[in-house]
Every structure is written in C-alpha cells, then in structure tokens.
Amino acid sequence: MRGHALFEQVPDRVSIFEVSPRDGLQNEAAMVPIEGKKRLVEALVAAGLRRVEITSFVSPKWVPQLGDAEDLAAALVPPEGVTYSALCPNARGLDRALAVGLREIAVFMSASETHNRMNVNKSIADTLRVFEEIVPPAREAGIAVRAYVSTVWGCPYEGAVDPAGALAIAQRLVALGCYQVSLGDTIGVGTPGQTAEIVRRFRDAMPVEQIALHLHDTRGTALANLLVGLELGVRDFDASVSGVGGCPYAPGAAGNVATEDLVYMLHGLGIETGIDLDKLIEAGNVAEQVIGRPLPGKVHRAGPLRVRKPKG
C-alpha cells in the first residue's frame, strides 16, 4: 500500500480473472473451433494472465457455443502457476469437470428470481439446494469453487434488485465453501454511487478478499465502477479481452470490461497486474481473428500511446 494523488491508498498489485473464453464466446454467434479457443487461451496466458475461465459444463442445448467443453479442457494443460476454471451448474457439470481433471469450478446464480429462472430454469431456493449438493463434494475432491451472483446492479426482467438479498445469497455460497463471490453487473447498468453502496454493504459483512467484481460494460460505466471498488478495497476484478461477450440470457448486455482497458488504467495508477500490455493486445488480436468480427475494447482499438511526427 502507498499514498497516491487520487486515492488515500492504492494496492501494489491486483488480480485479474480472465473470462473471455467463457463469458465472451458463449455470446458470440460464431461457433469458434477448438483450435481457435486453444490459441486464445494460450495467448492470454502468454500475456501473463494466471486465472482463466476457459469454458462451461452447462447443457449444450442451452449454450451450444461451449458444447466442446471436455475436448477443450483436455487439450489445455495449465502451465505452473496458472489455473483454468469453468462454470458448473449442477452435479452433471461437476462430474464432467472432475472427469477432465479441472482444479477449479465456478457455480453461478442470480440475485433476481426471473433472471435466475431464465438462466438456469430454477428458483433461487432450488438453485441453492443444487449447490448444497455439489460445492461440499467438490471441495472434498480438492477442487476450488468460485461463485457468481448475477444481476446485483439490476435485472433485465425485474429492474431494481435488493442488495440485501444478493448479500444473503453470497454469504450462503461462502458458507458452502466457495472461496470468492464475484458480483455481477450482468447488464452493465451500474453507476459509481450505486457501486459504492453495494461494495460497502458487502465489505462490511464479509472479508474483502472474498469479493470480486464482474462488470459488463454496456453503458461505459464499468471502469468507473471498478475504480470505486478499488478505492473501497476490492483487489479481484473479472475482465474479458477486447470486451468480447455478454450473457445469452440477458438481452442486450455487452461484454465485460475489456482486459486491456483495465490493465491500462491499473498500470497508469502504478498497480502491478503481472500482465504485459503489448502481449495482451496481441491476445486481443487473436480473439478478433478467431471470432471473425471487430471487437469493441478501447485500448484494443487505439493501442498504447503512439508518438507521431507532426505533419508539415
């Protein structure tokens, strides 16, 4: 920790959890072949990312883009110090993750009933019952379990969401054995004052290391909201290279904050991420090639500072 012109204190380092191969590709019309997915994950790791969510063990009928989860996980051996994770909605998902030797999974649910039902076809109470059956055995098998709570800033079907309900879900997930809960602004509606309220509420009720932020950038407020989280002590942020992605069951949602934009901002504050921005920009180019469309990340489009000769 040290003093800073903008903040009372900033950390020396933060951890970025890369979600593009999962959150990004699940929402693309293109079915990216396994070789393309492998190239993307390897480029992300080469850039210095150490935690990467590579796929989902969900129903291929619900998310066909990730229907090759076993083959991809089998084709990717994490180098020393790198963790690959995958979404897992139920016992079937856990069995699939165990069969390919994954060391980390993530369970996921929403703070609003309607989004939860649209996303996993169950009530919040029934989803928690499913997680009661899979998180403890996953822990016993030596698997780390992360969790997401979606729609904390707002729901596409219900509008405003009660943060007290979201907190109760997060506390239940931690009590079950999840090491961290990533709070989702699934549709990217959050603003900084609201983010301060949400993060303070969670920080006052659980250790800050158990909180991560997963902010979709639909309205361009993700970086401002992340900065509020940083100032309030959060040290774990999810991001998606070049801003690829969304949620197939949250209409109109854009991708997560672009990893390059987050890294550019953090490095500008003198905070270490372990990531090489030039190599990350190369990974963004790989994402664009394998997906086959221009991606929206700002640093991806503009590049780092380029000094040009004035004309004339």
Chain residues that interact with ligand HMG, rule: CB under 6 A: 23, 26, 56-59, 61-63, 87, 89-90, 92-93, 96, 108, 119-121, 148, 150, 184, 186, 214, 216, 247-249
> Residue 57 binds what, of ligand HMG, Mg ion, none (CB under 5 to 8 Å, by partner type)?
ligand HMG
Task: Say if residues 44 and 283 touch (Cβ distance below 8 Å).
Answer: yes
Count CA within 13 A, CB hemisphere, residue 69: 32
Helices 277-291 and 259-268, packing angle to 10 deg = 170
Kind plus residue range of the DSSP H or E element containing 188: none
Count the site residues for Mg ion by CB under 5 A.
1
Spatial CA neighbour of 31 closest among 61, 54, 65: 65
> Residue 121 binds what, of ligand HMG, Mg ion, none (CB under 5 to 8 Å, by partner type)?
ligand HMG
The residue among 122 and 267 lying less far from ligand HMG, judged by its C-beta, is: 122
- Work out how close the CB of 261 gets to ligand HMG at its nearest, in angstroms, rounded to a whole number: 17
The residue among 153 and 277 lying less far from Mg ion, judged by its C-beta, is: 153
Residues annotated as catalytic are: 247
- Work out how close the CB of 288 gets to ligand HMG at its nearest, in angstroms, rounded to a whole number: 21
Cα 107 from Cα 130, distance rounded (Å): 10
> Residue 172 binds what, of Mg ion, ligand HMG, none (CB under 5 to 8 Å, by partner type)?
none
Task: Say if residues 16 and 51 touch (Cβ distance below 8 Å).
Answer: yes
Report if residue 185 touches Mg ion, rule: CB under 5 A: no
Centre a 10 Å sphere on the Cβ of residue 67 and count the other Cβ atoms it contains. 17
What string marks each residue from 3 to 32 as x (binds Mg ion by CB under 5 A) or -? Answer: --------------------x---------
> Residue 59 binds what, of Mg ion, ligand HMG, none (CB under 5 to 8 Å, by partner type)?
ligand HMG
Count CA within 13 A, CB hemisphere, residue 101: 8
Centre a 10 Å sphere on the Cβ of residue 55 and count the other Cβ atoms it contains. 29
> Residue 249 binds what, of ligand HMG, Mg ion, none (CB under 5 to 8 Å, by partner type)?
ligand HMG
Residue number with the smallest Cβ distance to ligand HMG: 184
The residue among 171 and 285 lying less far from ligand HMG, judged by its C-beta, is: 171
207: Cα separation from own chain's centroid: 19
Could you tell me if residue 114 is left (phi over 0), alpha (psi between -120 and 50 degrees) or otherwise beta?
Answer: alpha
- Work out how close the CB of 135 gets to ligand HMG at its nearest, in angstroms, rounded to a whole number: 15
Burial 238-268 (b: 16+ CB within 10 A, else e): bbbbbbbbbbbbbeebbbbbbbbbbbbbbee
- Work out how close the CB of 255 gets to ligand HMG at its nearest, in angstroms, rounded to a whole number: 10
- Work out how close the CB of 23 gets to Mg ion at its nearest, in angstroms, rounded to a whole number: 4
Structure tokens at 71: 């083959």
The residue among 86 and 286 lying less far from ligand HMG, judged by its C-beta, is: 86
The residue among 22 and 38 lying less far from Mg ion, judged by its C-beta, is: 22
> Residue 229 binds what, of Mg ion, ligand HMG, none (CB under 5 to 8 Å, by partner type)?
none
CB neighbours of 159 closer than 8 A, spacing ≥ 6? Answer: none
Residue number with the smallest Cβ distance to Mg ion: 23
The residue among 110 and 273 lying less far from ligand HMG, judged by its C-beta, is: 110
- Work out how close the CB of 10 gets to ligand HMG at its nearest, in angstroms, rounded to a whole number: 26
Q: Facing residues of 108 across strands?
A: 148
Site residues for Mg ion per CB under 5 A: 23
